[in-house]
Structures are given as structure tokens and as C-alpha cells.
Amino acid sequence: MTELIISQVVNGLVLGFLYVLIAIGLSIIFGMLGIVNFAHGVYFALGAYFALTLRDTLGPWAILLAPLGVGLVGIVIEMTLMRPLYGKEPLLGLFMTFGIALFVEELIRTIWGAAGHPFNPPAWLSGFIVWGPVLVTKYRLFVLVVTVMILIALWLFLQGTRYGRIIRAGSRDPEMVSMLGINLKRVFTAVFGLGTAVAGIAGVLAAPLWSVVPSMSEAAIMPAFVVVTIGGLGSFGGAVISGLLVGVSVALSIQFWPAASTAVMYALMILILLVRPRGLLGESWERFE
């Protein structure tokens, strides 16, 4: 039994990294722009579908280009649909992103059809490693490594560069940053593009594991929200801790009470919100208090 529990905990941690990856983009866009992006799931799905379409012509390059394409879509949507809503009632942004989510999912269904598409991992990443009771597939290890790399890169970018400082300052006091002569519009567009591109990366990487269907966006959006909410809105550290927490909880519930494995993450979220209403590492935000 101990062996099974160890193997489930490790499996849960690895799954947790996938949840973290899906949640990062949501966290960036919320943390920097204050937008609760209900359309996050469709950028995730678009990543997988762009890779699907490009891989026949471009091969492995598709994996790199698909997230860029998603980022571009994000940039266009930000400039046309999101930008007019900044500074308005936050509810408008919610409605807008919800509308975008429904529309893009329908668009995906129209273009690529409702049926799923096969999507295999590359041959060099197939297979698995067994170490005592622990079994990890090479592909999931790869996803873990990519997730950690993205997190480090984002952290370095936001903490260590001038652009990062502008983004962080702009998210808290846009008026002051604008008065310093910085074009915040462009900064916000870039951040939105970055967040959606990371969602696209998650979609590409999830495609070999999960079904590539239009409703994959729904499968991604709920865990992403739960992870970001538990971790504290806008906190990367919180998202990592909560993603791993959710992954392990799901894995252990499957070991002992599988029928509750979807409910367990919501139960965890409720519990944590009762104890820490801002989430694990959430900071206080003037504009949302």
C-alpha cells in the first residue's frame, strides 16, 4: 500500500506541473492586467489546434510556432476587444472574455470539426522510467522541465528587467506609470500576448496526453481557475504550490475514492478560501478590495 501511495503522490506531483503550466497564463493576465480571463481555455485549445494544422507542413517547428500564433491571436483580441474595457466595471471584462470563450470554441468546432484528432508525442519522448514504486513517463517529465523553465524565465523577466518593472508598476498604478511617459497600452498588449502564448504552449504540450477536441478548453479552464484561486490571484509561487497540491489531491483521491476525484479540487479550494480568502500567497490589491 505504501508503495502505491508513493507512486500516486509522485504521479500527482507530475500532473500538478501540468496544472501549473495551464494556470500560468491565467495568472500572468490576472496578475498584471487584472483581467479574469474566462477565455483562457480557448487559447489553450488553439495551441493544440494550431500545432495540429502546422505539424504536417512544418514538422517539429509547429510546436514552437503554434504558441506564437496563439499569442498573436491574443494580441489582436486584446487590441480590439479587451482594451476598450480597461478601467471600466470589471464585470464587463468577465462578460467579454466569456463571450470570446463561447465564440472561439464554436469557431474551432466549425473549422476543425467536433471529432477528436490523434496527436502522438514525438518518438524520442515515448516510454517511461520506473524507479522502485515510482513510474514517470518521459513525456510528462519533459512537460515538467518545460514548466519549470517557463516559470524561471518569467520570474527573471518580471523581477530582473526594466520591462518587468514597468509591467509590475503598471499593474498597480497605471496612472502614475503613464505620467512617467511610458506607453502602457503597448505594454498591456504585450502582456496579454505573453499570457495567451503561454496558454498556447500548455495546449501544445497537453495535446499528446489529452483528447484534442473543441471542448478541451473546458477541461483546462476549471483546473486553471482552481489553481490560481488557491494559490492567490496573480502569485506565481502560489500557483506552483497550489498546482502541486491539486495534483496530489486528485491522485490520492483516485487511489481511495475515485468517483470524487473531480470534486476534490473544488473542496480544496473552498477549504483554503475559508482559511485564507486571498489564497495561499495572494497579496492585497487595492483595486480589488
Partner 1 sequence: MKTNDKSGFGISRRALLAGAAFGATQVAAPFVITARAAESIKIGLLLPKSGPYAAQGEIGHNGAQIAIEDFGGKVLDRPIDLIWLDESSPQTTQQNMRKLLDEEKVVAVQGGVSSGDVLAIMPVAERAKTLLMASGPNATEITGKNCSKYTFRVDLPNKVTVNSVYPLLKERGKKWYFVVASYAWGIDAYNQMKDVVVKGGGTVVGYDQAPLGTTDFSSYLLKVRQAKPDVVYVGLGGTDLTNFLKQMKEIGLTKQMALSAPIVNDTDLWAAGPDAAFGIYPKIWNYTGAHLAKRSADFAAAYTKKHGGPPEAEGWQDWFGMTSILTAIKETKSTDSAKLVGFLEEHKFEGYKDAPIFFRNFDHQLVQPLLVAQVKDKITDKYDYFDIKSEYPKDPAALNEAYGSQADIGCTFKA
Helix and strand totals (H; E) in the chain = 11, 2
Binding partner 1 by CB under 8 A: which of 64, 76, 102, 270? 102
Nearest distance from C-beta of residue 5 to partner 1, angstroms: 11
Binding partner 1 by CB under 8 A: which of 59, 99, 122, 160? 99
210 binds partner 1 (CB under 8 A): yes
| Closer residue to partner 1, CB minimum distance, 155 or 256 | 256
DSSP class per residue in 71-129: HHHHHHHIIIIIGGGTTS-HHHHHHHHHHHHHHHHHHHHHHH-SS-B--PPPGGG-SEE
Q: Which three cell numbers stand for residue 230?
A: 488557491
255 binds partner 1 (CB under 8 A): yes
Q: Which three cell numbers stand for residue 142?
A: 519533459
| Closer residue to partner 1, CB minimum distance, 7 or 196 | 7
Please give the residues from 158 up to 197 whose contact with partner 1 meets the rule CB under 8 A. Answer: 174-175, 177-179, 184-185
- Say how many C-beta atoms besides its own lie within 10 A of residue 204's C-beta: 27
119 binds partner 1 (CB under 8 A): yes
Q: How far is CA 278 from CA 128, 271, 288, in A?
A: 38, 12, 11
| Range in contact with partner 1 (rule: CB under 8 A) among 49-57, 63-71, 207-215, 232-240 | 207-215
- Say how many C-beta atoms besides its own lie within 10 A of residue 184's C-beta: 18
Binding partner 1 by CB under 8 A: which of 13, 141, 169, 215? 215
For residue 25, the Cα-to-chain-centroid distance in whole angstroms is: 4
| Closer residue to partner 1, CB minimum distance, 60 or 118 | 118
Interface characters, 28-57, with partner 1 (x: CB under 8 A): ------x-----------------------
72 binds partner 1 (CB under 8 A): no
